[in-house]
Structure 1
Amino acid sequence: MAVDVAREEKALREVTDRLVEDYGEAHPAERVEAVVGAVRKRFEGHSVRDFVPILVERIARRELDPTRTKTAAVQVDLSKSGPSGPAADTTNVFAAVAGRFVPVRLSEHKRTLGVVAAGAAVVLAVGVAFAVQQSDSPSATTAAPALTTVHGVVGSEKSAFFDDPKVADALAKHGLKVDVEPAGSRQIATSVDLGKFDFAFPSSSAAAELVQRKSGVTGKYVPFSSPMAIATFKPIADLLTQAGIVAPGATTTFDVEKYLSLAEKGVQWNQLEGNSTYAVPKNVLVSTTDPRTSNSAAMYLAVTAYVANDNTIVRGAKAEDYAVSRVSRLFTRQGYTEASSDGPFKDYLSNGMGTVPMAWIYEAQYVDAAVHNQLKPDMVLMYPKPTVMSQHTVVPLNDKGDRLGKLLTTDPDLQRLAAEHGFRPTDTTLFTNVTAAHQVPVDINLVNQVTPPDYDTLEHLLDGVAKSYN
């Protein structure tokens, strides 16, 4: 039987278009096309072509969505060795399909087999159609394959990402179910029992380095990052603009050097000239987390220590002591501070400027809130000048953790979902697409960034600040 190449090509193009339309939200078009191409190759060299597009579509759907029901009919393996030729190919396909559904006694159907050998299109059509129908019936369903559970401890700002059902679905397609416990990043590095987990996911390279040292592992992945920022309100931004600390524009900037000078003098909000909107007797301070437990506060310390040290990276005991003497009051004058960044940002969202006029946050938290319609009209995102980039780092503690770290870094769906939660993935266009779609004013380039001090120096600075609490 002559093969109608043009008709098969047209049918396969239609299959690809349908799959792109059906799975466009879960997979990029290139991924769908690659799956169709790979499945199609399984049928190369076989002379029975009439139902190749049907079989290709069924197998491709199974691979693009592993939770779909499976049937033996769509798992026909035409690569088995055996007699060749049209009759043999036709009989093999028919046997694979009809054998699943119809008991055949060869002694009673010699004439039928002769027809099959000559041209089994009609019989094969019935078999395949029946297979397709049966695959969608309740009696043909099979249990979804068991997922491998991966346990992790993560910085609290990533809880929403792992709680997202779309993230769970994307991981399930790779056979994984991820359970996480939130904690402050420095808690992860210093006090959490890592033996209970398959991976740790703190929010900076410094915390990750300490986890690596404690666990004796060298591997790590950085699937996304987020610069540090300040969440505030328009009346506060206007006050600080009059004080010369804030500069409005396409994005709002916050001058850390001028702020440090003001804070060192102990200036209160009600002492700011022209203040009629927030005239309260409280120190002008950015609210942070506890530097003894949280990475976001450690990043605040890295920035303020750099500025306090004459805009130079802190190195050596003398520079460390000097920086601590200037910046420790930024922490001790705050009163109670929480252990992780999730709490202060939730206070910012729900309680307004009366409780938290300025909150030191990850940019990702603000963008995530914007995407999920949690921001109020007077809320403002400010970028400290300078700022620091927080590298969210997966430290795999075993093979399961390594598998997850690799997926988070390389899988297009998970990278896209990370951007939807406000993080900056490897492909920054994913992030810019999200912020443009939701009209979030962000600074994409952020030229003015500091390099955090090395691990040991940051530990010494944190120890110095911790001592100042006593």
Structure 2
Amino acid sequence: MKRRLSIGLAVALLLAVVAVIVWGRGDDTTQAELTTVRGAIGSEKLPFFQDQRVLDAFAKHGLKVQVDAAGSRQIATSLDLGKYDFAFPASSPAAQRIQRDRKVTSVYTPFSSPMAVATFEPIVSLLSAQNAVHKGPGDYQVLDIAKYLELTATRWDQLPGNTAFPARKNVLITTTDPRESNSAAMYLSIVSFVANGNAVVSTPEAEAKVAPGLAKLFLDQGYTQNSTEGPFEDYLSAGMGKTPMVLIYESQFLGRQLKADGAIRPDMRLLYTSPTIYSKHTLIPLGGNGDKVGQLLSTDPELGKLAASFGFRTSDPRHFTETQPKAPADLVDAVEPPTFETLERMLDAVKKQY
């Protein structure tokens, strides 16, 4: 009897070992069968593409998506795209440039994000006293860009009654480097619209009119970083003293807030600019399975819900409203950016001032 039990136990152990080996080989085989797809993406989407849930969702469709992050304007103007299957900048003007240069006929816009300003409650109170911040149509706060521009030549310590933030530096939004980053180009689009009498800049005469004043908004900041992740992380870690206001994508704030890791503290606030611009994250297929990545991001419900969890407004608005119930479902005061060529000329005019 004991001999039979010993033999039975040995057989059971052998079967268990074989099962583990077979399972391991099967998993390796599955990984080996995945098709690698490479993409160049704006840095604001890097956390999304690095998330294991996103990697697993693509793997269900036989894809292993690998990405390199860069500034969106850099992707459109100077990055060698020959080694990539898709480009995924954060704006339609940058995408238009790539689409034209690479002679691509179809593109995908699976999600978008309006530009916004991350700041702090004491700053909101100071700006509200200057009539630069007010309530929007919904339960959110708005930074009036026209009023803000009137304050940019003023130091914080010159604001009447300011004891909360008496800093000896100008009232300026921190942006990225306009020579490399899309978010800075979107900021230029917003402020140029207001400076041009609330009209999209579309003529050389309008460009010449608004350019000198706009350049100071960047130059007076001093050093600027080349992607939005940099100043946003400064905002989260260094606080109000270093970065009282920073231009970001709404998705960055909402995604971090939903993550609930304590990075978004109770005194932190998100202001929507008036007007604002939707940064339309546009994927341009360049070869291989790049087109399939665009299709999946646009139509796959699992990837749509994951994108919403990172704060992106998806092609199916239900994903965003269900995942981000506290965010405004829509922003009525949104304008379009200038054409890529107009934006490039204005950015070049700013660049010459450095």
With structure 2 as the length reference, what TM-score do the two structures score? 0.90
Corresponding residue of 2:344: 459
TM-aligned CA deviation for residue 458 of structure 1: 1.1
Match for 2:298 among 409, 415, 419?
A: 409
TM-superposed CA distance for 1:435, in Å, is 1.6
> Of 291, 309, 314, which residue of structure 1 is paired with 2:201?
314
Provide the C-alpha distance between the structure 2 equivalents of 1:139 and 1:246, rounded to a whole number of angstroms.
63
From the superposition, tell whether residues 465 and 139 of structure 1 become closer, same or farther in structure 2 (CA, over 3 Å): closer
Q: TM-score, normalised by structure 1?
A: 0.68
Task: Tell me whether 1:175 sits opposite 2:57 in the alignment.
Answer: no
Q: Which amino acid aligns with 2:149?
A: L
Q: Which whole-Å CA distance do the structure 2 matches of 1:197 and 1:451 have between them?
A: 29
Does residue 270 (structure 1) correspond to residue 157 (structure 2)? The answer is yes
Q: Deviations over 1:158-185 (max 9, x none)?
A: 0000010000000000011111111000
Match of 2:244 among 331, 351, 357: 357
Deviation of 1:144 after TM superposition, in Å, equals 3.6
| Alignment match, 2:312 | 423
Does structure 1 conserve the Cα–Cα contact (< 8 Å) formed by 2:305 and 2:323? no
Partner residue in 2 for 1:138: 20
Aligned to 1:220: 107
- The aligned counterpart of 1:442 is 327
- Quote the Cα distance in structure 1 between the aligned partners of 2:305 and 2:328: 19
SS across alignment from 1:283? coil
Q: Determine helix, strand or coil for the equivalent of 1:150.
A: strand
Structure having the larger proportion of residues in strand: 2
- Alignment-derived partner of residue 4 in structure 2: none
Counterparts of 2:177 and 2:214, CA distance in 1: 14
* Equivalent AA in structure 1 for residue 190 of structure 2: V
Q: Aligned to 2:202, what secondary structure does the other structure show?
A: coil
Contact 2:90/2:279 (<8 A) preserved: yes
The equivalent residue for 1:383 is: 272
- Supply the distance in 2 between the matched residues of 1:246 and 1:443 (Cα, whole angstroms): 17
User: Which residue does 1:369 correspond to in 2?
Assistant: 256
Rounded to whole Å, the distance in 2 between the matches of 1:215 and 1:383 is: 34
1:9-28 aligned at under 5 Å gives the runs none
For residues 89-131 of structure 1, the C-alpha deviation after alignment (integer angstroms, 9 at most, x for no partner) is: xxxxxxxxxxxxxxxxxxxxxxxxxxxxxxxxxxxxxxxxxxx
Matches of residues 254-293 of structure 1 in structure 2 within 5 Å? 254-263=143-152, 266-293=153-180
Q: Which residues in structure 2 correspond to 1:289-308 (within 5 Å)?
A: 289-308=176-195
1:199 touches 1:401 (CA, 8 Å); kept in 2? Answer: yes
- Match of residue 220 from structure 2: 333
Distance in 2, matches of 1:138 and 1:183, equals 41
Structure 2 counterpart of 1:70: none
- CA contact 2:157–2:165 (8 Å) conserved in 1: yes
- Quick one: structure 1 residues 139 and 304, their matched pair in 2 at CA, closer, same or farther if it must change by over 3 Å? closer
Structure index of larger Rg: 1
C-alpha distance in 2, partners of 1:419/1:179?
Answer: 20
Secondary structure of the residue aligned to 1:152 is strand
1:455 to partner: Cα distance: 1.8
Task: Note the C-alpha offset of 1:248.
Answer: 4.0
Residue 334 of structure 2 aligns to a residue in which SS?
A: coil
CA distance in structure 2 between the partners assigned to 1:240 and 1:286 by the alignment: 12
Unaligned runs of 5+ in 1: 1-132
Match of 1:45 in 2: none
Whether contact under 8 Å (2:37, 2:288) holds in the other structure is no
Secondary structure of the 1:388 match is strand
After superposition, residues 147-162 of structure 1 pair within 5 angstroms as: 147-162=34-49
Q: Which moved more, 1:356-365 or 1:442-451?
A: 442-451
Question: Secondary structure at 1:230's aligned position in 2?
Answer: strand
1:273-298 deviation digits (Å, cap 9, x = unpaired): 11101101000000000111000000
Correspondence for 1:189 among 72, 76, 83:
76
1:211 Cα shift?
1.3
Query: Aligned partners of 2:135 and 2:129: how far apart in 1?
Result: 11
Distance 1:212 1:194 in 2: 12
Once residues 285 and 431 of structure 1 are traced to their aligned partners in structure 2, the CA distance between those partners, rounded to angstroms, is: 31
Distance (Å, rounded) in 2 between the aligned partners of 1:444 and 1:328: 33
Shift, 1:139, TM fit: 5.8
The one-letter code matched in structure 1 to 2:335 is V
Q: Is the contact between residue 241 and residue 248 of structure 1 (CA under 8 Å) also seen in structure 2?
A: no
Quote the offset at 1:269 in angstroms: 0.4
Cα shift readout 1:19-58 (whole Å, capped 9, x = no counterpart): xxxxxxxxxxxxxxxxxxxxxxxxxxxxxxxxxxxxxxxx
State the shift of 1:443 in Å: 2.2
Partner of 2:134 in structure 1?
247
Residue 244 of structure 1: how far off its partner (Å): 1.0
AA matched with 1:461: M
CA contact (8 A) 2:43 2:227 kept: yes
Q: Distance in 2 between matches of 1:161 and 1:138?
A: 32
Query: In the TM superposition, what whole-angstrom CA distance separates every residue of 1:125-171 from its partner, at most 9, and x where no partner exists?
Result: xxxxxxxx99x943653344221111111100000000100000000
Output one character per residue of 1:178-223: Cα deviation in whole Å (capped at 9) or x when no partner: 1111100001011111012111110001001111222222221111
Q: Distance between the aligned counterparts of 1:365 and 1:413, measured in 2?
A: 20
- Residue 284 of structure 2 is matched in structure 1 by 395
